[in-house]
Each structure stands twice: as C-alpha cells, then as structure tokens.
C-alpha cells in the first residue's frame, strides 16, 4: 500500500511534531466549540451535532483506514472543520464596547 493506514501516524510523519500539535489544537478547538454549542436552538445546534458526529466517525475510521492522499477525505475533513469553526457565530453575544 502506498500510504499509512492511520491518520494520526500519517499526520505525524508528514508534518512532524509541530504540525501534529497544530493539527491537534485545531481539532480540539473545533470539538470544544461544537460541544458548547450543541444545545443551541435551531440550525446552529444541529450543525454542531452534525460536525461532532462527522469528526467522531472520521476519528474512529481514521485509526485504521483513511489517508489525506484521498481527495474526498481532505474535503470532508476541512468542511467539518470549517462548519465547526463558524457554528453559533451569529448567535454569540457581541463584545461589550
């Protein structure tokens, strides 16, 4: 096989320790944001739950058979990260002036 069959190992091999720490920080930030916003009413809550489900299923399958060499894996991963990053942004309280 031309690729590693584990996303964490692939990320570590491809981008090194510093890149893996950045990868982990981005994932942690998105999961934390979605976890806090999962109970929002309407579309924001559903997007947060969907993003958590997408990242969780990707994490489980990524341990044994995913690679960023495949275009669809990159597209789904970055789509989930993007959706998770903006979840609840319109409903958050504006900063006090």
- Residue by residue, pLDDT tens for the chain (97 residues) are 676 778 888 889 889 999 999 999 999 999 999 999 998 888 888 989 999 999 999 888 888 888 888 888 889 889 999 999 888 666 555 554 4
Helix (H) or strand (E) holding 23: helix 7-37
35 within 8 A of 88, measured Cβ to Cβ: no
Contacts of 26 (CB under 8 A, 6+ apart): 81
pLDDT digits (tens, 9 = 90+) for 68-81: 888 888 898 899 99
For the whole prediction, is pTM greater than 0.85? Answer: no
Within a domain: 95: no
Within a domain: 24: yes
Within a domain: 22: yes
Round to the nearest angstrom and report the end-to-end CA distance of the chain.
57
Neighbours of 91 (CB within 10 A): 13
Within a domain: 21: yes
- How many structural domains compose the chain? 1
pLDDT at 82: 92
């Amino acid at each position: 096989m031309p690729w590693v069959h584990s996303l964490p190992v692939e990320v570590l091999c491809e981008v090194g320790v510093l890149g893996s720490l950045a990868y982990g920080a981005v994932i942690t930030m998105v999961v934390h944001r979605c976890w806090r916003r999962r109970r929002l009413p309407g579309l924001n809550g559903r997007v947060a739950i969907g993003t958590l489900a997408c990242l969780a299923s990707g994490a489980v399958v990524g341990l044994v058979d995913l690679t960023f060499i495949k275009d669809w894996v990159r597209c789904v991963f970055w789509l989930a990260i993007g959706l998770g990053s903006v979840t609840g942004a319109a409903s958050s309280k504006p900063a006090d002036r």
